[in-house]
Amino acid sequence: MNTTPSPRFRSRAGYALVMVMVFAAIGLMVLTGTMNWASQTSLMNERNNQMTATTYAAEAATERIVSRLMQDYKASGESVVFNNLASYRTNVPAAGENAYWAGFQFSNGSGTTNQNYVARTQTQIYTNLSGPYAGLRGFVSNYRVVSNARQTTGRFNLTNAVQQDIQLASIPVFQFAIFYNSLLEFTWAAPLVVRGRVHANSNIFLGSSASLNLQQDVTATGTIGKQAWFGYTLANFTGAITYGGNVTSNTSALTLPIGTNNSAAAVREVVNIPPTAESMSSPMGQQRFYNKAEMLILVSNSTVVVKVKTPFDASPTTINWTNANYFIRTNASFTDQREGKTMKTTELDLTKFRTWAATNTAVAAKLGAGNAPNIVYVADDRTVTASQKTAVRLINGQTLPTRGLTLATVNPLYVKGHFNCTNAAHLGTTNTTSSRPSSLIADALTIQSGAWNDAASSGSYSSRVPTDTTINAALLAGMVYSAGANGTSPMSGGVVNFPRLLEAWSGRTLTLNGSLVNLYNSARATAPFQNPGIYYSAPNRNFNFDPNFLDSTKMPPGSPELRVLIRGAWAAAPANRTNYVASF
């Protein structure tokens, strides 16, 4: 029997077929869209990955140049960096270093491959510094480094560029009110106002029963804060600590460009006589005061050799001793009760030195008529007994030569009476308008007042009553560092005892206008600090930073400089451009 579907059944079957076809079509469209989306997303991700890879490659190329710039600058100075520009430009990452770089091509922005763009954009000038060194001034030159990178193995023809602007800065160390290459201790300090920048290439310990006012920025490579020290606990530190600027710990170290590490022993070489084989043009040779000096005074058991020269002069002129002994004598001696020794002293009378230098023909021939040597290096290496040490002393130094004076010595240095304050009305004040550029650089530095009497030096310190004394100079000297877990065996005496004293200063005022810099430990005057009441009593301390040192024309002769690379603007710059303006 034939069964014929009803029209209604046929209608439903046709409708279902249509619906299946519609949904199939929709599914196909969705699948196609999904596949297209996935494909586009994959391409976008691949493009982004390639862009990231080329940007990182360009950054790596610039970083290797910046690293070389920094090394060359710190070791040899800005002139060497400028002379090495051609070498920097061809210093691109290569497959010979790492197979990864075989997939990249580098260019300088002008179409030349296997090169970077490296150029000096500003010659060296003395100007304000930026970034973490804002507020300081230095000798600054600006450089720009640009690298373009293209991934040769990538799907896309992409070139990305990175641009870095940097400053090469040389900062005179005496721009700091206080600069320590080691632990800096304000612990248990007398009341003190510090009117300039402070930096330590270590920790800075604070805390006392007296007030401490740090008016400008304070930086340290370590920590800055209170520390139980010198037999005192945190509960003893009731004195207020006031900050007038930024306080930044864990900063980068500021170092001398001596071609090696900046340990105390390494830096102390700047005051030593150079070894015979050392070149004056070497990094250390460039920093030695012996080489910078315009006069050498070398004392041995049998002779006193005096030479006049220009800085880094290999052919000095020898001065006859019968001529030089007008301002030099070697028979002075006194007792230093901190050292517990008799100090056999080479003594320079600076008033006589000015008079002598003004008329000496050898000085005029080397330095020009009327120009006294402005850097004098002294080394007294006479043989001594167990109860003696050799030293250098300056007397009659209230008026210095017109060009100023830096006295550098490997020995302990003593300064007697007012120093570098021609105008008597300025004694005991912060007024340094009558002073000359000056620094005192030594193994250790001790101040003797104008009332000091050598004959009384071995008696009770209470019998040595000083007069108020003013010293206008940057002081760079060694110290006996604190030792032990709590700074008690021994303690350095802290920054207020950086200039050593041997008199009963109670009720008297010691005025220092300058800069206090410690870069190394004392190797000759090695007796540790002891509390007041043993060989001295403490003065009223009127310590001040001399703002003259912010002026390049008023810096002490031969001032050491700290070289640092300051990063400026970093930019993912447009490809094939070298003049992109980025902000700091």
The mean-pLDDT minimum among 72-76, 174-178, 350-354, 403-407 falls in 72-76
Please give the model's pTM, rounded to 2 decimal places. 0.87
Tokens 């770089």, located at residue? 101
On whether the CB atoms of residues 75 and 84 are closer than 8 A, the answer is no
User: Is the pLDDT assigned to residue 42 strictly greater than 60?
Assistant: yes
pLDDT tens digit string along 250-276?
A: 998 899 999 888 999 999 999 999 999
| Residue 511 vs residues 359, 370, 420, 469, 544: alpha-carbon distances, Å | 33, 31, 12, 6, 8
Phi, psi angle pair for 443, to nearest 5°? -65, -35
Phi, psi angle pair for 267, to nearest 5°? -70, -30
Model confidence at 290, pLDDT cuts 50, 70, 90, reads: very high
On whether the CB atoms of residues 304 and 321 are closer than 8 A, the answer is yes
Evaluated on CA atoms 523, 528, 532, 533, the torsion sign reads negative
Q: Considering only CA atoms, which of 425, 391, 424, 419 is closest in space to residue 405? A: 419
Instruction: Please state the rounded mean pLDDT for residues 44-65.
Output: 91
Model confidence at 581, pLDDT cuts 50, 70, 90, reads: confident
What share of the chain has pLDDT > 70, as a percent? Answer: 93
User: Is the pLDDT assigned to residue 584 strictly greater than 50?
Assistant: no
User: Is the pLDDT assigned to residue 62 strictly greater than 90?
Assistant: yes
Model confidence at 75, pLDDT cuts 50, 70, 90, reads: confident
pLDDT tens digit string along 172-225?
A: 999 999 999 999 999 998 899 999 999 999 999 999 999 999 999 999 999 999
Instruction: Please state the rounded mean pLDDT for residues 565-584.
Output: 85
The per-residue b/e assignment along 185-224, b for 16 or more CB within 10 angstroms, e otherwise, is: bbbbbbebebbbbbbbbebbbbbbebebebbbbbbbbbeb
Query: Which are the contacts of 342, defined by CB distance < 8 A and separation ≥ 6?
Result: 333, 334, 335, 336, 387, 388, 389
Model confidence at 460, pLDDT cuts 50, 70, 90, reads: very high
Q: Residue 83: is it exposed, middle or buried by C-beta count within 10 angstroms (0-12/13-18/19+)?
A: exposed
How far is 61 from 447, CA to CA, in rounded Å?
54
**DSSP 8-state class, residue 339:** T
User: Is the pLDDT assigned to residue 37 strictly greater than 60?
Assistant: no
| 444 sits in which H/E element | strand 444-448
Evaluated on CA atoms 187, 192, 193, 197, the torsion sign reads negative
Q: What is the per-residue pLDDT for 485?
A: 86
In the structure encoding, which two tokens stand for residue 452, read together?
Answer: 């000091």
Q: What is the per-residue pLDDT for 382?
A: 98
The mean-pLDDT minimum among 29-38, 137-146, 323-332 falls in 29-38
How far is 443 from 408, CA to CA, in rounded Å?
9
pLDDT tens digit string along 300-345?
A: 999 999 999 999 999 999 999 999 999 999 999 999 999 999 999 9
Q: What is the per-residue pLDDT for 398?
A: 98
CA 106 from chain centre, in angstroms, equals 35
In the structure encoding, which two tokens stand for residue 535, read together?
Answer: 């060989």
Q: What is the per-residue pLDDT for 364?
A: 97
User: Is the pLDDT assigned to residue 27 strictly greater than 80?
Assistant: no
- Mean pLDDT, the chain, rounded, equals 92
User: Is the pLDDT assigned to residue 554 strictly greater than 50?
Assistant: yes
Whether cis (ω within 30° of 0) applies to the bond prior to 490 is: yes
